[in-house]
Every structure is written in C-alpha cells, then in structure tokens.
Amino acid sequence: MKKSIYGLTRDQLIEWLMGQGQKKFRAEQVWDWLYIKRVQSFAEMTNVNKECLQILEENFVIQTLKESVKQESADGTIKFLFEMQDGNLIETVLMRFKYGLSVCVTTQVGCNIGCSFCASGLLKKSRDLDAGEIVEQIMKVQFHLDQIQKEERVSHIVVMGIGEPFDNYKNLMNFLRTVNDQKGLAIGARHITVSTSGLAKKIMDFAEEDLQVNLAVSLHAPNDELRSRIMVINKAFPIEKVMAAVDYYLEKKNRRITFEYILLKDVNDHVEEALQLAKLLENKRHLSYVNLIPYNPVDEHGQYQRSDEKSISAFFQTLKNKGINCGVRMEQGSDIDAACGQLRSKQIKKDKDKVKVNN
Ligand code: SAH
Ligand code: SF4
C-alpha cells in the first residue's frame, strides 16, 4: 500500500527526490503544491516535469484518509471520523476559538497507557499512525475550510486525540516539523500543544528538540497513591520522575508548561489535593499553568463522575490563593474538548445514524 507523501518532512522530500535524480528546486515546487496550493493529486502539479510526477505517482499517494462522518455542532465545532487505508477509524476535531481555529489530532489507534477514566484507553493500541496520517488530518480539515471559502486557516493544533503522542515519538516529531514548516502550513510552534500522560524519558528528549512547541502533562493527582489508582502509568513513571523530567524541560526551554488535571468527583477534587498540588508546583509557579478539566463521563467508567460546581470552584480558588496560575476548561468547550479522542465504537455507530454520511 502506498503511503501518503505528507509523511515526508520538507528536508526528507528534498533528500528523497534528489536521491531519485531530481533537482532540489523540484522538491520545493512539489512542497508548494502540497501545502500552499494544496492540490489533491500529483497531476495538478503543472510546473513539475513528467518524469518527476511519474516517480511520485509510483511511490506515493497524496491522500489516504476517507471521510466517513462529519458532525457539526451549533458552536461551529466539527468532528471528523476518518477511515484509514487499513479500515481503522480515527477522529479529528476542529474547534473555533476567539484566537483562531484549533485542530485536535489522533496519533495512535487506541492507547496502551490505559488510564482508568479514559475512553481511548479502552481499546488497546492496534498501531501507531505514521507521520503522513497525522499531517493528513490537518490537511483534511484545511481542505474543508478551503472548500467553504472563508479564507480561514488552521492556526492552532492540540495533540490530544486518541493515543499517547510520546509513544509514537518519531512520527510525532516529523508531523510537528511538517506543519510548522515556514514554506508550508507555517503553523507556529507556539500555537501547537502536545499532551503526554507523563513518559518522563520522552519529556527529556522533547526538551532537547529545537522546536518551541508547548507541552502539557496530564497529572490528574498530586500524590503517587492517588495517581497510581487512576493512571497505571504512574507505577512506571511516578510523580517524582515526571517532575524531574519537567524540571529538566523547564531548565532547557524556559517555557511555561501546562498541567492537566481532570476533576473526578470525590476522588481527586478535595481542597486537600489542591493544597498538595500547589505544594508540588510551588518551586515552578512562574512557569506552570494548571488546566482544570471537569470530567466528561464515559459509560464504561461508571465509577467516576464529574465534580460538582462547588468543588470545582473551591479547588480553583485554593490553587489561586496559593499563587498557582490556573483555569477551568469552559463548560461549552469541555464537552467538545473531552470528546476529542473520546469517540468510541458505540458512539460511532450512534453518530452514524444521526449525521450526514459523506462517502
Ligand atoms: N495521551 C495523552 C493525550 C491524549 S488525552 C494524555 O493523556 O495526555 C488528552 C487529555 O484528555 C488528557 O489530559 C486526558 O487525561 C484527557 N481526558 C481523557 N479522558 C477524558 C475524559 N473522559 N474527560 C475529560 N478529559 C479526558
Ligand atoms: Fe491514553 Fe491519554 Fe487516554 Fe491515558 S488519557 S488512556 S494516555 S489517551
């Protein structure tokens, strides 16, 4: 099966085409057709010579994803369900904010981290997405925007869909380089956020990268006993290790880090945990932001409920009083954000009946 050419970064495309006896400027033309003019077939690359087009056709395709469902909500959020070449389904979400258009991408089919509250973790990982399949999610959304002709562009990306991005590190990095490329989509690194469940070693690798992409760490609990209960990954990477990696990252990058904290009713939402969290972040207050996420209930995880308003605001206020930068993910956004990566097969079936199927 031919792979999408979106899987090559600009440098890789140049190297590959030069290896095929083509000149560098050809690769640059092809790149321009792909990301600036955004054609959907090689044949449309009219200033590229026949020989080069033939090599491309023989080795790559442009698109591999088939849109199977597109669900638009009243506030402009659009959920796309794509079928990949092997039949696997992945989810991509476009969200509209005051500051721009943000796309949430999937990086794996399922997730092996298996957090106890998460729908994605219900399905064991069946495979990693390759870089092309991740880039193509952005392209598909951009094609949609191009089609409705509002001259809108994807300005922000959150890597918070299905999967653990740092468990698919190489493809993640190639994806980030491609979407960030100044001669292509040019989505600013500072407008991109990668969220990890806390794979400490990879956080350290990420600190070494020359990209200024934002990092979010899913903490969800301020002590090991509680964190291990809700995230088994804490046994491999306990809080101390995660925090050591975070400190390393902060030292290298001097960039603010976001800590995600899902509020689970009566589990991790007491004032006591807020105080513990404030203590944990005390020495990095100036470079921390805590994102409090009201839990989006998942049928299969009936043991958890969303915290009530009173607990949420007490938790928030406790952090504030201790000088911790924090915010609560807004109510209307919370459904949408949490739904990002949370579509399950059951829901997919249900949705298919409800919405327009574009095959
Ligand atoms: N695997 C990565 C990125 C994908 S999950 C990670 O865990 O960080 C993105 C975010 O959505 C994480 O903070 C995750 O904890 C959160 N999330 C997962 N299930 C959720 C749910 N049911 N309600 C609210 N947030 C959820
Ligand atoms: Fe995987 Fe993230 Fe879900 Fe945990 S929260 S199971 S790491 S997708």
Catalytic residue among 104, 111, 118, 340: 340
The residue type found at 237 is F
CA of 35 to the centre of ligand 1 (A): 30
Which tokens belong to 329? 């993910």
Q: Which residue has the tokens 């069946």?
A: 126
pLDDT at 337: 46
- Ligand 2 pocket mutation, candidates 197, 227, 231, 344, criterion most atoms within 8 A of CB: 197
Q: Give the global pTM.
A: 0.93
Q: Which of 156, 168, 79, 76 is nearest to 126 (CA)?
A: 168
Please state which of the ranges 8-17, 146-155, 277-286, 340-349 shows the lowest mean pLDDT: 340-349
Beta-strand pair 154-159/288-294 = unpaired
Q: Find the ligand nearest to 262 CA.
A: 1
Contacts of 180 (CB under 8 A, 6+ apart): 186, 187, 188, 189, 192, 211, 213
Give strand pairing partners of 193.
158, 214
Task: Report the candidate in 120, 115, 122, 85 with the shortest Cα–Cα distance to residue 105.
Answer: 120
297 vs 291: which has the higher pLDDT:
291
- Burial of 154 (C-beta count, 10 Å sphere; 0-12/13-18/19+): buried
- Sign of the alpha-carbon dihedral angle for 13, 18, 21, 23: positive
Residue 226: per-residue pLDDT: 98
pLDDT at 222 exceeding the cut of 90: yes
| CA 306 to ligand 2 centroid distance, Å | 18
Other beta carbons less than 10 A from residue 141's beta carbon: 22
Pairing of strands 192-196, 214-218: parallel
Residue range 82-136, pLDDT digits in tens:
999 999 999 999 999 999 999 999 999 999 998 999 887 677 899 999 999 999 9
Identified catalytic residue from 52, 91, 115, 273: 91
Q: How far apart are CA 241 and CA 236, in angstroms?
A: 9
- For the purposes of burial, counting CB atoms within 10 Å of the CB of 138, is it exposed (0-12), middle (13-18) or buried (19 or more)? buried
- Cα of 116 vs centre of ligand 1, distance in Å, is 11
Q: pLDDT at position 350, please?
A: 53
- Could you tell me the pLDDT band of residue 301, with boundaries at 50, 70 and 90? confident
Atom of ligand 2 nearest to the CA of 119: 3
pLDDT at 342 over 50: yes
Q: For the chain, what is the largest distance between any 2 Cα atoms, rounded to a whole number of angstroms?
A: 68
User: Who contacts 100 (Cβ-Cβ below 8 Å, separation ≥6)?
Assistant: 155, 156, 191
Q: Say yes or no: CB of residue 338 within 6 Å of ligand 1.
A: yes
Place 343 in a pLDDT band, splitting at 50, 70 and 90.
low
| C-alpha to C-alpha distance for 56 and 48, rounded to whole angstroms | 11
| 91 counts as catalytic | yes
pLDDT digits (tens, 9 = 90+) for 160-185: 999 999 999 999 999 999 999 999 99
Cβ-based burial of 353 (10 A; exposed 0-12, middle 13-18, buried ≥19): exposed
Atom of ligand 1 nearest to the CA of 113: 1
Name residues contacting ligand 2 (CB within 6 A).
111, 113-115, 118, 120-121, 163-164, 197, 218
What is the mean pLDDT of the segment spanning 259-286? 97
Q: Residue 346 has what pLDDT?
A: 44
* Helix runs in 36-168, H state only: 50-59, 131-148
pLDDT at residue 138, rounded to an integer: 98
Question: pLDDT of 230-267, one tens digit each?
Answer: 999 999 999 999 999 999 999 999 999 999 999 999 99
Q: What is the mean pLDDT of the chain?
A: 91
Helix and strand element counts for the chain (H, E): 13, 14
Residue 15 reports pLDDT greater than 90: yes
182-197 in b/e form (b: 16+ CB < 10 A) is eebbebebebbbbbbb
Q: What is the pLDDT of residue 2?
A: 95
Would you say the C-alpha torsion 347, 348, 352, 357 has a positive or negative sign? positive
pLDDT given for residue 335 in this prediction: 53
**What average pLDDT does the segment 313-322 reach?**
98
- Is residue 180 lining ligand 1, measured as CB closer than 6 Å? no
Q: What mean pLDDT do residues 49-56 have?
A: 97
What pLDDT was estimated at residue 349?
A: 45
The Cα 340–Cα 320 span in angstroms is 27
